[in-house]
Structure 1
Amino acid sequence: MNANCAIDYRYAAEQGGAALFAPGAEQKWLLQYLPLVKRIVSQLALQANQVLDREDMEQIGLMGLLECLRRYGTPDEQFGRFAALRIRGAILDELRRQDWRPRQVRQQTHKIRDAIRQLARQLGRVPQEEEILQAAGINAKEYQEFLQADACEAIESLDELLQNGHEGFACGSSAVEDRVLKERLLTQALSQLSERERLVLTLYYQHELSLKEIALVLELSDARVCQLSKQAIAKASRYLNERG
């Protein structure tokens, strides 16, 4: 296995369960899906916030891929989508474990949220950006960073919901039926969104673009894409929770 796809197999056996394939076959599948791991690592670079470097994130992602491969069995046309959820989930779990946001950033986030809630109560409407900047005592750059972090948290919550919703997948007819049901629910959840909200989630989950890349594609500001993604995720999560 090359340096870009190196895994400690003793650790993998403990974390990923018993191997279903010969080591050579596992290596082949890991190499085949390595580009997926790299794309997801690029997506999650914003959340990492210097807590994990790219190499660490790729190693964690590969462990998630190996676990998924051993539980799923021989990959088919649907494997990539389920593997992406597990890879992303493994990296986000590690970021949460290491508490990727410094205490000062968390305090700033609470301060801005409190200011937005208080303004909304006072004004009886959603406050404008300029009003938020003045009330919270922050500049436009700090507000954009808040929106991005807020969107990342929302994405984490949907990732966790989707991942937990697919935890039961494995070989066997009942698992196949469960996968079909989950896919149907997710499709129905996306149908509840506006066209632009649906496009943002499609670009993120299916085309694996980062929020910044989505902003470039849609010719929107980073802040607007963060707002759209959070709105979309809130609607989709609410729908999935109600029917989960």
Structure 2
Amino acid sequence: MMEIQSQPTNLTKEDVIKLIADFQQNQCDEAQERLVDHYKNLVHSIAYRYSKGGPMHEDIIQVGMLGLLGAIRRYDYSIGNAFEPFAIPTIVGEIKKYLRDKTWGIHVPRRIKDLGGKIKLAIEELTDHLQRSPKIIEIADHLGLSEEEVLEIMDAKNNYRVSSLDDVVENSSDGSSVVRIESVGEVEQGYEETERRLVLKDIFNVLNDTEKSVIHYIFGENLNQKDTGERLGISQMHVSRIKRQAISKLKQAAFLDT
């Protein structure tokens, strides 16, 4: 088990949100620099998971930093939720895309090719019928697949980076729409949201049912801790404690190579 570098403690959650707001509203370089300094150990720890200290380590750190900067630019501070659950999948996704670009010529399994083609055709048929981009669940129902299988094929397509699947589409963060990847190496917002969803799905396995529910209500449905407690039949203080514990587990899951 690798040693996890501790997070700097000079910024509170509220400080982080204020700095992000200052950067997004005023393009404040000082705010961005403070955020990067605060989260640099987080980036280094995640980078080590993929580099194991090898020759690509410094490159992966730089890519992780780009992911952090992207998260700072896109984070919706108005909601008031913690930044880390948004930042970690964004950083991991950026690193994974970089590593895929290094290995895009791997042979694509027949199953990926076949289902990728069927998904592409289903998108075209459903778009014509619905006069809009279909939802992931609509694609799945059309093909007799589960949503997880559709997402798996989309993710596998991006893992192999092969031109025959360049037109397979990705879902937005809520699964309500899809966007095309026009060319190898082009990263669309929809792809980034799918990547984040898949990464979160993997690391959420470390949480127990109550922790998953708390994270879902607070970060998924934007409920406050009081309303979350009422949903679960527990006190607001208990919700706060479970949330802190769950976020800590998610950080560990993102850092550790399991």
**Bucket of the pairwise TM-score, normalised by the shorter protein:** 0.3 to 0.5
Higher relative contact order (CA 8 A, sep 6+): 1
Q: Normalised by the size of structure 2, how large is the TM-score?
A: 0.35
Q: Normalised by the size of structure 1, how large is the TM-score?
A: 0.37
Structure with the higher helix share, 1 or 2: 1
